[in-house]
């Protein structure tokens, strides 16, 4: 998906909501276990209930690959029913030596046709470059994450700046850096002002809203730019709003609450 089309979709929906499909077969409503493919059925009903509210969906690959072949099949079937107006993110957190990364890029960009994939930058440019080769595909670099352990490394001093800042500054020097987006956790929302001074125009994928405690208002206030520039992700708070047969309806209600919180930040 092109940047222009993503921005148009955001403008039309007045939404920057990304729904994370962290579909855990142990948590989905029990009645779905009667289906041949419970994971796909859950995803299908969530997508049907929320497709007009979200601009992106983000399957967390770990929840599919742990199921073996059946999980990959569920993922493939899910990808085929996502409307082409919705930006698709493979939350895979890949990143390895160049020839291995090239295979990861082929998997998610060619075989499964995702618009974007999350990538860990620890191994440097040659581990990220194979993802950046793809036109109109996006590499979402882990920068400042929302988990408690982020403090172990991401805030270490690196030549007078935090390591995560060093990662961002270095990455924008790379060839095709215009194809980069960045993961910035919602629980660090107050730091978005400083981050925007480094990358004023890039899109940010912001997890941590909802179950992890981040707020939409803070993220929008500090992180939104002239092209909106944000994809705010919510997963558990939407997916598991109900464990009953009304799960899709309740998921829609939770998604709508977040979209309503976003609307004041859109110019009319």
- Spatial distance between the Cα atoms of 16 and 223, rounded to a whole number of angstroms: 12
Quick check: is 93 catalytic?
yes
- Catalytic-role residue among 14, 77, 93, 257: 93
* 204 CA to centre of own chain: 9
Residue 125's nearest CA partner among 105, 94, 161, 96 is: 96
Backbone angles phi, psi at 232, to 5 degrees: -95, 120
Residues assigned a catalytic role: 93
């Amino acid at each position: 998906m092109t940047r222009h089309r993503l921005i148009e979709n955001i403008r039309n929906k007045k939404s920057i909501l990304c729904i994370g499909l962290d579909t855990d077969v142990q948590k989905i409503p029990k009645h779905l276990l009667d289906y041949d493919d419970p994971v796909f059925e859950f995803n299908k009903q969530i997508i049907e209930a929320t497709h007009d509210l979200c601009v992106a969906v983000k399957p967390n690959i770990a929840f599919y690959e742990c199921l073996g072949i059946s999980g990959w099949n569920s993922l493939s079937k899910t990808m085929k029913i996502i409307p082409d107006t919705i930006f698709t993110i493979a939350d895979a957190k890949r990143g390895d030596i160049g020839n291995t990364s090239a295979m990861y890029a082929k998997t998610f960009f060619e075989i499964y046709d995702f618009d974007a994939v999350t990538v860990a930058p620890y191994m440097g440019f040659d581990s990220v470059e194979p993802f950046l080769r793809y036109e109109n595909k996006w590499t979402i670099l882990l920068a400042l994450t929302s988990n408690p352990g982020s403090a172990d490394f991401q805030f270490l001093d690196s030549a007078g700046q935090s390591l995560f800042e060093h990662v961002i500054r270095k990455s924008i020097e790379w060839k095709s850096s215009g194809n980069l987006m960045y993961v910035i956790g919602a629980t660090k929302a107050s730091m978005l002002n400083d981050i925007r001074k480094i990358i004023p125009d890039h899109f940010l994928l912001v997890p941590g809203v909802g179950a992890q405690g981040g707020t939409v208002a803070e993220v929008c206030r500090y992180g939104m730019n002239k092209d909106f520039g944000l994809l705010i992700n919510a997963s558990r708070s939407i997916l598991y709003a109900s464990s009953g047969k009304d799960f899709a309806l309740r998921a829609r209600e939770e998604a709508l609450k977040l979209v309503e919180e976003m609307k004041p930040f859109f110019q009319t």
